Amino acid sequence: MKEHACIKCKFITTESVCPNCGSTEFTENWSGVVYIIKPEDSFVAKLINAKKPGMYAIKIR
């Protein structure tokens, strides 16, 4: 299955329900990736409001 980004939280997954926020709204039209390993210690995670470790899209269209 192809990776898609959650429209609400930008989490990238192959699942049909976002494991980060529970949304079912996705797009395959995204660009850029940021990997969040320790969201509690990450300045970037705070900027994009990432609460869980994982792969996030930088831009979704």
Residue 44, pLDDT score: 93
Residue 19, pLDDT score: 93
Residue 49, pLDDT score: 87
**Going from the N-terminus, what domains does the chain have, and what CATH number goes with each?**
4-60 (2.20.28.90)
Q: What is the pLDDT along the chain (61 residues), one digit of tens a residue?
A: 799 999 999 999 999 999 999 999 999 999 999 999 999 999 999 998 899 999 999 999 8
Q: State if pTM tops 0.85.
A: yes
CA–CA gap between residue 7 and residue 31 (Å, rounded):
13
Compute φ and ψ for 3, nearest 5 degrees.
-75, 140
Q: In one letter, which amino acid is 52?
A: K
